[in-house]
Amino acid sequence: MVKIYTRKGDDGTTGLWYGGRVSKSDLRPAAYGAIDEAGAALGMCRAAATEEPELAVDILALQQELFVAAAELATAPEAAGRLEAGVSKVTREMVDDLERVIDRYMDRVALPPKFVIAGGSELSARLDVARTAIRRAERGVVELKLAGELDDDTVLEYLNRASDAAFAMARYADEDNPELFEGRKK
């Protein structure tokens, strides 16, 4: 039987990829932990996208790329040279590809003129929850940047686009409910 527990984290620390240990409350685990949460939320979205194969494919791709972002953030800065573009390090191409995904969805829906009320459909509500989790991860990466622990802003740009992509997908999933874009009617 394979045991998933190591007991190494019982002291409140966690291991970084390519070595080193930090507190579980450190900025780095907080950031990649939020990405893990976003990926799980996207899994709930993908499970609900049974009637939307295009969305399911794009959600899975986003989940896979979030693993790349998490791997980059789970690596100590001194080991950053060991990261592999597109596998464990976010690339400019990944950001550009997400912009195309965002544009593809937003070209097919009307941009809400006001705030959006979440919950037009189960899928769009789940996507909005995932979007907020991605935003939390983004804020965590901003904290890393402000602390001088982020050498390359590409992962930050990627997370910004990733939340925009979740927003665009949610609006596409809500396309049959335009009244949700208007807020409370008088």
Q: Does residue 101 fall inside a structural domain?
A: yes
Q: Is the pTM of this model over 0.75?
A: yes
pLDDT at residue 177 in the model: 60
Domain that holds residue 146: 19-175
pLDDT at residue 183 in the model: 42
> What percent of the chain stands above pLDDT 90?
74
Phi and psi at 157, nearest 5°, equal -60, -40
Q: Does residue 10 fall inside a structural domain?
A: no
Q: Does residue 11 fall inside a structural domain?
A: no
Place of tokens 């969305």: 55
Q: Does residue 186 fall inside a structural domain?
A: no
Q: According to DSSP H, which parts of 90-153 are helical?
A: 92-106, 122-146
Q: Does residue 53 fall inside a structural domain?
A: yes
pLDDT digits (tens, 9 = 90+) for 66-111: 999 999 999 988 898 999 999 999 999 999 999 999 999 999 998 7
Q: What is the CA radius of gyration of the chain?
A: 18
Q: Does residue 2 fall inside a structural domain?
A: no
Report how far residue 73's alpha carbon sits from residue 93's, in angstroms, rounded to the nearest whole number.
18
Return the bridge partners of 17, or none. 75
Contact between residue 166 and residue 135 where contact means Cβ atoms under 8 Å apart: no
Is residue 5 predicted with pLDDT exceeding 90? no
Is residue 121 predicted with pLDDT exceeding 80? yes
Contact between residue 46 and residue 56 where contact means Cβ atoms under 8 Å apart: yes
Return the bridge partners of 55, or none. none
Where b means 16+ CB within 10 Å and e means fewer, 38-69 reads: bbebbebbbebbeebeebbebbeebbebbebb
Number of structural domains the chain divides into: 1
Q: What CATH number is given to the structural domain containing 137?
A: 1.20.1200.10
pLDDT digits (tens, 9 = 90+) for 17-54: 888 899 999 999 999 999 999 999 999 999 999 999 99
Return the bridge partners of 23, or none. 13
Report how far residue 93's alpha carbon sits from residue 100's, in angstroms, rounded to the nearest whole number.
11
Q: Does residue 1 fall inside a structural domain?
A: no
Contact between residue 85 and residue 72 where contact means Cβ atoms under 8 Å apart: no
Q: Does residue 185 fall inside a structural domain?
A: no
